[in-house]
Every structure is written in structure tokens, then in C-alpha cells.
Amino acid sequence: MECVNWLLVGAGDIARKRVAPALRDAANSELAAICDVREDVARELANDLSVDEVFADFDAALANSSADAVYVATPVGLHTELAVRALEAGKHVLVEKPLGLSGADCERAVDAAEVTDRVAGCAYFRRLSPRYIHAKEMLERGEFGQVVAVRMTYFTWFNPEPDDPKYWRVIRSKSGGGILSDMGTHMFDVLIGLFGMPVSVFAKCDNLVHQWDVEDTGTMVMELANGAHVSASFNWNSKTWRHEFEVVGTEAKIDWLPYDAGPVVKTVGRDIQNVDLPNPENVHLPLVEDFVRALQENRAPCCPLAEAAKTNRLLDAVYQSAEKNTLVECGG
């Protein structure tokens, strides 16, 4: 296939900001069609990007669009259902993160992907970021010595009004959880990509400020396969802001401050260096380019569905631990 024609389903915030421009701008990639239940929103985005095919109904889009791949950018509760329908219609599929509401929900999509020859991936784009690759290479070269600790922190303020389009994020049946499902999953995916699935977790989740049915606070201690400790805290209830990822070894450590942009600080013994790494302007562009190349090279994309489902299984273990106030084994 020379050029991948995309159907984008969900024309909301992330679609407009990053996904649609990436589908349009990536090499050998064409944004052919846009579908949203809010047809006016789909049409507006289509007009802005000169896309001809607009749909309000996903089945009609699957049947009638010229697309051979579907990008799912709807609220989380629809991800696996739409992904399965796209795969069953013979389309390749790239799904926003997290893959599903739970590990069990993800299995539907993982199973559907296994029985087709279509390419299926999840949008955990950080696996392609230069800072992730740098940390992975440091691990492979043994530069950390023995990894003894990982620290993950994210806090910000989130308090959508009920009429805010983003309100679905605080409704568990639509989002799968609060700050942990939204931002925690990105950082869990990086953790799993670098170190594999943690062995166990002890977590505490709370609503300290906002009275939703999803947590505004999640704090946890995990154990990695080599025995290293992970401490993580996520808050949607502070008007201050922090977004950090730190790996500490016996010989060296690395800090991403913040996690997505800005300096990477590498410390070897007492020697502190800033590592200059490029930060792509649109992080979805390398993601789409990787997916298109995967299709052309007949290989898996950077985060296949089975890999993405691990993050949901870890999230299940976190919630189970918090609910039962006990240590939970994470499984494979």
C-alpha cells in the first residue's frame, strides 16, 4: 500500500489539536474521512482541513468511506467497540489511549486484532519519544547499574462543568477512571515499556477535593521484577503543576522534567548533565508515521493492542488495591 487513507472517528479536542494534522501531514498518509456523532463538529474540522467525506454514523462511515485505516479518538468507553467493528470491517486501526475501560474490555479488541492480518495499535506515542528511547538505550547499555527506584508525579487542576465536552472524563463508565485512567496510563505505559509489568502494587485512591465517581487523587507503591520500588502520585486537584518521571540506578539517574518537554537531566555519580534531545512539535506525527511504516513493512506498530492492554490490567490492579486496601499482584 503506497498511501494510507484514514477515517478519523471522533472530531473533538485531541483530533483537532494533534491527530487530524498528523494524519494529514504524515508521509504516505491521507485524511480521507471524518466521522462524529456531532455532525457539525465533524464538518467544521473537515472544512478546515479540506476533507471531503463527512459522516455522523460510524457504520455508514465504515461502509461508504474510502478509508483503509480507522483512527479512534472518541471517549474511552467507545474505544474497543469501535476498534472491533473497524477490524471486522477489514480496516487497520489505531486507537487513542487508554485502549479500554479495563483489562477485560481490552481483551475484545486484542482478540479481534489477533484473528485478522490488519495492523492494530494504541496511541501511546511516548514510546517513540527521544527521551524514552534514550532511557531505553541507557538501560540496554547497563548505564544505570542496578535500577533501584522509579518516581512518577503528575499534578494539575481539572474541574470541568457538566456542560463541558470533557465532562465524560469524570464519568467512570465513559472514562474508566479519573486522573489514573487519563494521565496515569501514559506514565504506566512508559513504565511497562521500560521495565515490563510491575510485580505488585499497593494503592490509595481518593476524592480529596472533587466529588465525582472517579478519583482526583491516586498514590501508589509498586515493585518491579528486579525488586526496584516505584512511587507514583497523580492529582487532579492542585492549581499548581508538575509532570515528572525519574529513573534511579546505583550508578546513574535520569529525570524528565517535565515529562514531555524541556530538559532531560542525567546524573552519573555526582556529575549532572543536561541531555539535549529533540521534542517533536506534534507528538502524534511520529505515532502516525510509525503506524504507516508498520503497515508498509508488515510489522507491529510501536504499541500493539496486546501491549496496550497491559496498562489497563495494571490500572485494574491499582483500583483493586485501593478498594481492598491491600497489596495486589499484577500478573503478566
Ligand X SMILES: NC(=O)c1ccc[n+]([C@@H]2O[C@H](COP(=O)([O-])OP(=O)(O)OC[C@H]3O[C@@H](n4cnc5c(N)ncnc54)[C@H](O)[C@@H]3O)[C@@H](O)[C@H]2O)c1
Binding region for ligand X (CB under 6 A) out of 6-14, 104-112, 195-203, 211-219:
6-14
Q: Report d(CA 9, CA 204) in Å as an integer.
A: 35
Binding region for ligand X (CB under 6 A) out of 8-16, 109-117, 140-148, 317-325:
8-16
Reduced to 3 states, what is the DSSP secondary structure of residue 41?
Answer: helix
Asked if 49 touches ligand X (CB under 6 A), the answer is: no
Residue 53 sits at φ, ψ, to 5 deg, of -95, 120
What's the closest the beta carbon of residue 320 comes to ligand X, in angstroms? 22
Binding region for ligand X (CB under 6 A) out of 74-82, 144-152, 218-226, 233-241:
74-82
Of 37 and 221, CB closest to ligand X:
37
Binding region for ligand X (CB under 6 A) out of 70-78, 145-153, 289-297, 315-323:
70-78
Asked if 48 touches ligand X (CB under 6 A), the answer is: no
Asked if 14 touches ligand X (CB under 6 A), the answer is: yes
**Helix, strand, coil shares, percent, the chain, to 5:** 40, 25, 35
- DSSP-derived secondary structure for 270-290: TEEEEE-----SSTHHHHHHH
Asked if 41 touches ligand X (CB under 6 A), the answer is: yes
252 - beta bridge partners?
A: 268
Of 61 and 306, CB closest to ligand X:
61
Tell me the CA distances in angstroms from 107 to 119, 151, 180, 209, 294, one per residue in order.
Answer: 16, 29, 20, 34, 22
What's the closest the beta carbon of residue 154 comes to ligand X, in angstroms? 12
Of 72 and 150, CB closest to ligand X:
72
Nearest residue to ligand X, scored by beta-carbon proximity: 12
Q: What is the DSSP letter of 127?
A: G
Asked if 76 touches ligand X (CB under 6 A), the answer is: yes
For ligand X, which residue of 4, 5, 6, 10 counts as binding (CB under 6 A)?
10
Pure H helices in 118-276: 130-140, 172-175, 179, 185-195
Asked if 74 touches ligand X (CB under 6 A), the answer is: yes
Closest alpha carbon to 216 in 200, 199, 204, 224: 204
Residues in region 116-145 near ligand X by CB under 6 A: 123
Q: Which helix (H) or strand (E) holds 241?
A: strand 237-249
Reduced to 3 states, what is the DSSP secondary structure of residue 243?
Answer: strand
Binding region for ligand X (CB under 6 A) out of 133-141, 161-169, 264-272, 324-332:
161-169
Going 292 to 295 to 299 to 303, the CA torsion angle's sign is: positive
Asked if 40 touches ligand X (CB under 6 A), the answer is: no
Q: Report d(CA 258, CA 131) in Å as an integer.
A: 11
Binding region for ligand X (CB under 6 A) out of 33-41, 133-141, 202-210, 255-263:
33-41
Contacts for 282-285: CB closer than 8 Å, 24+ residues apart: 282/18, 282/21, 282/22, 282/25, 283/18, 283/125, 283/126, 283/129, 284/18, 284/19, 284/21, 284/22, 284/123, 284/125, 285/21, 285/22, 285/25, 285/26
For ligand X, which residue of 22, 78, 110, 170 counts as binding (CB under 6 A)?
78
Asked if 31 touches ligand X (CB under 6 A), the answer is: no
Of 174 and 204, CB closest to ligand X:
174
What's the closest the beta carbon of residue 72 comes to ligand X, in angstroms? 8
Asked if 37 touches ligand X (CB under 6 A), the answer is: yes
Q: What is the DSSP letter of 228?
A: -
Asked if 259 touches ligand X (CB under 6 A), the answer is: no
Asked if 165 touches ligand X (CB under 6 A), the answer is: yes
* Residue ranges binding ligand X (CB under 6 A): 9-15, 35-38, 41, 58, 73-76, 78, 96-97, 123, 165-166, 168
